[in-house]
């Protein structure tokens, strides 16, 4: 699991032109974006906590595609989910 997490975070950071730092949270910090990479939908509350609040940057939780349906059920009625 940890290897998949690292691969996904590195790939996403590369696409966004920024760096993945496994020692910092959130995993990816760009000029206008913060992204936390998680392996399972049930980790979303922890990811939201790690992303922090009060900043003007967009914040995302990155999950593998097979976790999307569980994530939608978990977050139903809580705001923007895509």
User: Could you report the per-residue pLDDT of 29-70, keeping only the tens digit for each?
Assistant: 888 889 999 999 999 999 988 888 767 778 999 998 999 999
Q: Domain of 38? A: 2-75
16 within a domain of the structure (yes/no)? yes
Does the residue 51 lie in any domain?
A: yes
Residue 61 lies in a domain: yes
Domain count, the chain: 1
- Decide if 51 contacts 59 (C-beta within 8 A): yes
End-to-end CA distance of the chain: 23
The pLDDT of residue 74 = 87
Helix, strand, or coil (residue 60): strand
Residue 80: inside a domain: no
Strand (E) positions, the chain? 28-29, 33-37, 58-62
- Quote the pTM value: 0.80
Pairing outcome for strands 58-62 and 33-37? parallel
Q: Is residue 81 part of a domain?
A: no
Q: Which pLDDT belongs to residue 69?
A: 94
């Amino acid at each position: 699991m940890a290897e998949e997490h690292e691969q996904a975070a590195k790939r996403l950071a590369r696409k966004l032109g920024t760096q993945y730092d496994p020692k910092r949270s959130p995993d990816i910090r760009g000029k206008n974006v913060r992204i936390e990479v998680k392996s399972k939908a049930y980790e979303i509350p922890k990811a939201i906590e790690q992303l922090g609040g009060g900043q003007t940057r967009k914040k995302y939780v990155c999950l593998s595609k097979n976790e999307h349906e569980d994530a939608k059920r978990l977050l139903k009625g809580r705001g923007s989910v895509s």
